[in-house]
């Protein structure tokens, strides 16, 4: 099939490369000239870095660019003319009030409509991959109707890719959701020829990813598909919120969360997000849950549960700080704390909504100094902290360490009054505890990812504060 991917970010680029890899002809288009140049330089061997870091992506892009199944351009007219399916993969950032700004999607829809005017009697399928609130497909349809007399259908095809796993996730999706315009969706009982053609196109497109086991393709209406995406992330975010709250209770009653939660994985109804943390972060859960709460408000439907997820998560972000404060009798002034892990999860340099931001801001405000180490996340964290007005005059009290500056995680520990581990990077899972003890002024570890064994910490003589288990105070 001939496909255009509009937007070459964390979704468009990996998904475009994966479509190309299974025999489609894909043109990735972006309005950012620098970005397209960067990708092309990579493809021509002039650099070794793509603007998107995803495991397996470099090889996939190179291979498909060389075989001419994947191309890159800033020319949307060319991309639209050459393609039958046009995927919209542009960002949907949050407005100040938490609602979604769909302006980029609507602007791109307008450009696609204009680009479709190169001839009469043209038909294109416009596929929305961006995460958009219910009703956006209808708005996109209106925009296109205002810009072209040619024919089109709007399809909602949300993605369920986790950052860092976009390539493997695109190759092995757990489900494929296809939303059709309501008037073309007739369930399985009655279908006109256009509805049949739409279904067949998407069955064919996703056939290489739907070969084994049960059929993973689900047809529904646009509104269904749009809401499905939000509710999927809401379920997952709610589960993390419940995990964290339950782990806090486990700690209080002297139970051990890791022990008691392990059997949950044998109850398929419960799911797998059972790892306690200092709250979820990233570009998806916080944004999508806030957005769906706004949809509840807009529609006048009361939310008694979902609206509590974000406040619970914000509370959880500072749960270790509370313990640290207690440990030092509310006097953190002039103490120095080391932090291992700045990115919102392992295997990414992304620090968006990472709990480390709130944790660092709180420590600085209490008069403490911070030494922060992350293998990848330092540049992004520096940027995020520089955007915080409330700590702008305290930033001199933070020192960064990273592999970029040839520092090891141990360099960030010297003369510190404690270590907090906030991201589950592999390199933090089995550190040299004797070295940690030697370098810290006071042997205290605060484990925000449930990484270490309490018994071992006790044996090694650490004070150990974690989530989901009683504190070990020596």
Among residues 14 and 431, whose Cβ is nearest to ligand UGA? 14
Provide the minimum distance between the beta carbon of 24 and ligand UGA in the complex, in angstroms, as a whole number: 22
Alpha helices in 117-272 (DSSP H): 136-147, 166-171, 193-206, 222-253, 257-261
Contact call for residues 305 and 238 (beta carbons, < 8 A): yes
Within 10 angstroms of residue 423's Cβ, the number of other Cβ atoms is: 29
Residue 473 burial class via C-beta count within 10 angstroms: exposed 0-12, middle 13-18, buried 19 and up: exposed
Applying CB under 6 A, the residues found at the interface with ligand UGA are: 131, 159-163, 233, 236, 240, 243, 273-275, 277, 280-282, 284-285, 344-345
Provide the minimum distance between the beta carbon of 350 and ligand UGA in the complex, in angstroms, as a whole number: 8
Provide the minimum distance between the beta carbon of 60 and ligand UGA in the complex, in angstroms, as a whole number: 19
CA pair distance 6, 31, nearest whole angstrom? 9
Among residues 282 and 431, whose Cβ is nearest to ligand UGA? 282
31 flagged as catalytic: no
Among residues 416 and 423, whose Cβ is nearest to ligand UGA? 423
Provide the minimum distance between the beta carbon of 163 and ligand UGA in the complex, in angstroms, as a whole number: 3
Distances (CA, A) of 11 to 161, 203, 283, 438: 8, 20, 12, 44
Give me the half-sphere count of Cα atoms (radius 13 Å) on the Cβ side of residue 20. 29
Among residues 80 and 291, whose Cβ is nearest to ligand UGA? 291
Among residues 174 and 329, whose Cβ is nearest to ligand UGA? 174
State whether residue 443 is helix, strand or coil. coil
Provide the minimum distance between the beta carbon of 273 and ligand UGA in the complex, in angstroms, as a whole number: 4
Would you give the end-to-end CA distance of the chain in angstroms? 65
- Tell me the angle at which helices 355-365 and 378-386 cross, rounded to the nearest 10 degrees: 60
Which pair of tokens denotes residue 410? 């141990």
Radius of gyration in angstroms for the set of CA atoms belonging to the chain, rounded to a whole number: 25
The residues carrying an active-site annotation are 284
């Amino acid at each position: 099939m001939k496909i255009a991917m509009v937007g070459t970010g964390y979704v468009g680029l990996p998904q475009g490369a994966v479509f190309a890899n299974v025999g489609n002809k894909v043109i990735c288009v972006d309005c950012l000239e620098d970005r397209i140049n960067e990708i092309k330089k990579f493809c021509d061997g002039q650099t070794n870095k793509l603007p998107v870091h995803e495991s397996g992506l470099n090889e996939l892009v190179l291979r498909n660019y060389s075989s001419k199944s994947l191309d890159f351009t800033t020319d949307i007219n060319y991309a639209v003319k050459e393609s039958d399916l046009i995927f919209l993969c542009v960002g949907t950032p949050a407005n100040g009030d938490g609602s979604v700004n769909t302006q980029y999607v609507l602007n791109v829809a307008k450009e696609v409509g204009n680009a479709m005017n190169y001839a009469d009697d043209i038909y294109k399928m416009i596929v929305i991959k961006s995460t958009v609130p219910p009703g956006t497909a209808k708005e996109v349809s209106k925009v296109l109707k205002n810009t072209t007399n040619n024919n089109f259908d709007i399809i909602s095809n949300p993605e369920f890719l986790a950052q860092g796993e976009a390539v493997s996730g695109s190759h092995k999706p757990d489900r494929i959701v296809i939303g059709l315009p309501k008037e073309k969706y007739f369930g399985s009982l009655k279908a006109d020829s256009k509805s049949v053609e739409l279904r067949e196109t998407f069955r064919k497109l996703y056939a290489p990813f739907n070969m084994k086991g049960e059929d993973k393709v689900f047809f529904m209406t646009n509104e269904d598909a749009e809401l499905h995406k939000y509710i999927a992330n809401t379920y997952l975010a709610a589960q993390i919120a419940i995990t964290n709250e339950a782990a806090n209770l486990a700690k209080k009653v002297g139970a051990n969360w890791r022990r008691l939660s392990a059997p949950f994985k044998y109850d398929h109804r419960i799911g797998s997000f059972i790892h306690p943390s200092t709250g979820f972060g990233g570009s998806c859960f916080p944004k999508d849950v806030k957005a769906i709460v706004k949809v509840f408000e807009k529609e006048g439907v009361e939310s008694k549960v979902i609206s509590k997820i974000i406040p619970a998560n914000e509370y959880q972000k500072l749960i270790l700080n509370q313990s640290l404060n207690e440990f030092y009798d509310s006097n953190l002034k002039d103490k120095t704390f080391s932090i291992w892990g700045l990115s919102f999860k392992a295997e990414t340099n992304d620090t968006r909504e990472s709990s480390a931001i709130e944790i660092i801001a709180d420590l600085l405000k209490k008069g403490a100094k911070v030494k922060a180490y992350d293998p990848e996340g330092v540049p992004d964290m520096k940027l995020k902290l520089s955007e915080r007005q409330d700590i702008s005059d305290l930033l001199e009290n933070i020192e960064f360490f990273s592999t970029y500056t040839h520092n090891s995680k141990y360099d960030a520990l010297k003369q510190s009054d404690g270590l907090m581990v906030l991201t589950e990077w592999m390199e933090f899972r089995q550190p040299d505890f004797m070295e940690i003890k030697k370098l810290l002024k006071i042997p205290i570890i605060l484990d925000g990812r449930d990484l270490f064994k309490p018994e071992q910490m006790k044996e090694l003589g650490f004070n150990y504060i974690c989530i989901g288990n009683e504190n070990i105070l020596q």
